[in-house]
Amino acid sequence: MTVPSDLPADWTLGAPGIVYQRCRACDQVWYFRRGFCPACGEDGPQALPATGDGTVHATTLVHRAPSDEFRALAPYRIVLVDCDEGFRMMAHGHHDLAIGDRVHCRFEPMGHRLLPFFERAKQ
């Protein structure tokens, strides 16, 4: 998959990185690209690279995976992370993560794609 040259590296396009957006008009921040601000409707939001740092908001352990590809990993942890830039994202996480843990994202290959994977931040 080719990453457009005008965007920072993004895992959804096959490159190790997380891209979030910020509205130029109202300063709203969100995750997963769209062409307009979900708060005020302004077109042309800014795409920015995230640090990958955050705090675990919620966590769950998946025992019944949705596909053969993920069944090979089960049981695996899914986390909701409040990223330092002000958005929340869902991703895979280390098995020992708990609510409130400070985390950092790395990227793991799975099949033909990269997936974000949060682990406890080094202190």
**pLDDT tens for residues 62-114?**
998 888 877 888 899 999 999 999 999 999 999 999 999 999 999 999 878 89
Model confidence at 5, pLDDT cuts 50, 70, 90, reads: low
Domain membership flag for residue 5: no
User: In terms of domains, do 60 and 43 share one?
Assistant: no
**pLDDT tens for residues 28-69?**
999 988 999 999 999 999 999 999 999 999 999 999 888 887
Higher-confidence residue: 4 or 120? Answer: 120
Which pLDDT does position 69 carry in this prediction? Answer: 79
pTM of the model: 0.88
Domain membership flag for residue 6: no
Instruction: Tell me what the mean pLDDT of segment 11-19 comes to.
Output: 93
User: In terms of domains, do 73 and 115 share one?
Assistant: yes
Q: How many domains does the chain have?
A: 2
> Average pLDDT over the chain, rounded to whole?
91
Higher-confidence residue: 37 or 6? Answer: 37
> Which residues span the domain enclosing 18?
11-49
Q: Write the CA distances from 67 to 16, 21, 78, 116, 122, integer angstroms.
A: 23, 30, 15, 18, 32
